[in-house]
Chain A
Amino acid sequence: MSDTMYKRHDGSDIFMHWFNAVCWLLLLLTGIGLIQNPVIDPLGSGYPAVLRSLVGGGGNLLLLHEALGILWIIGFLVYLIINFKGARFFLAEVFAISPARDMLWMVKKMVLMTLGPKPLKMLGMDPVLPDQGYYNMGQKAFAQASVVGGVVIAVTGVVMFLSDRTFGAAATGMIGWAVTLHFITVGLVFAGLLVHIYMAAISPEERPGFKSMFTGVVPGEYAKHHHRLWFDKVQSDDQQVSE
Chain B
Amino acid sequence: MAQQLAMIIDASKCIDCKGCMIACKVANNVPEDQWRNWIKGESGMSRPGKHNGTTKFQPGACMHCDKPTCVEACPTGATYKDEMTGEVVIDESLCIGCGNCIPACPYGARFRNATKRKADKCNYCPERRAQGLLPACVDTCPTKARVFGDINDPDSEAGRLFLKNKEQLTRVAARTETKPNMFYIGDPGPRDWGGEAVTPASMIAMKEAAPFIKGIVGLSGLGVLAMLGRQLIAGSDTDHKENDDV
Asked whether A and B interact, the reply is yes
Number of interface residues of A (CB under 8 A): 57
Chain B contact-residue range equals 35 or more
**B30 smallest CB distance to A (angstroms):** 14
Chain A residues within 8 Å of B, Cβ to Cβ: 34-37, 39-40, 42, 45, 48, 57-63, 112-117, 127-129, 160, 163-165, 167-169, 172-173, 175-180, 183-184, 187-188, 190-192, 194-195, 197-199, 202-205, 225
Q: Decide yes or no whether B118 CB sits under 8 A from chain A.
A: yes
Q: Which residues of A contact B72 (CB under 8 A)?
A: 37, 39
Most buried by B among A37, A114, A205: A37
CA distance A37 to B101 in the complex (A): 13
The listed residue (B201, B217, B223, B230) touching A116 by CB distance below 8 A is B230
Q: CB of B27 within 8 A of chain A?
A: no
B206–A179 contact, CB under 8 A?
yes
Structural contact, B75 and A179, CB atoms closer than 8 A: yes
**Are A36 and B213 in touch, CB under 8 angstroms?**
no
Chain A residues closer than 8 Å to B95, beta-carbon distance: 164
Min Cβ gap B243→A in Å is 6
Within 8 Å by CB of A225, from B216, B221, B226, B243, lies B243
Task: Flag whether B239 is at the interface (Cβ < 8 A).
Answer: yes
B227 pairs with A198, CB closer than 8 A: yes
Output the least CB separation between A225 and chain B (Å).
6
Compute how far the CA of A205 lies from the CA of B224 in the bound complex, rounded to whole angstroms.
Answer: 15
CB atoms of B94 and A58 under 8 A apart: yes
A48 touches B77 (CB 8 A): yes
CA gap between A175 and B76 in the complex, in Å:
13
Give the residues in chain A near B209, CB-CB below 8 Å.
Answer: 180, 183-184, 187
Take A58-B77, A163-B117, A187-B217 as given contacts and tell me if A40 and B210 are in contact as well, using a CB distance cutoff of 8 Å: yes
- Asked if A179 and B98 make an inter-chain contact with CB atoms under 8 angstroms apart, the answer reads yes
Residues of B within 8 A of A168 (CB): 114, 117
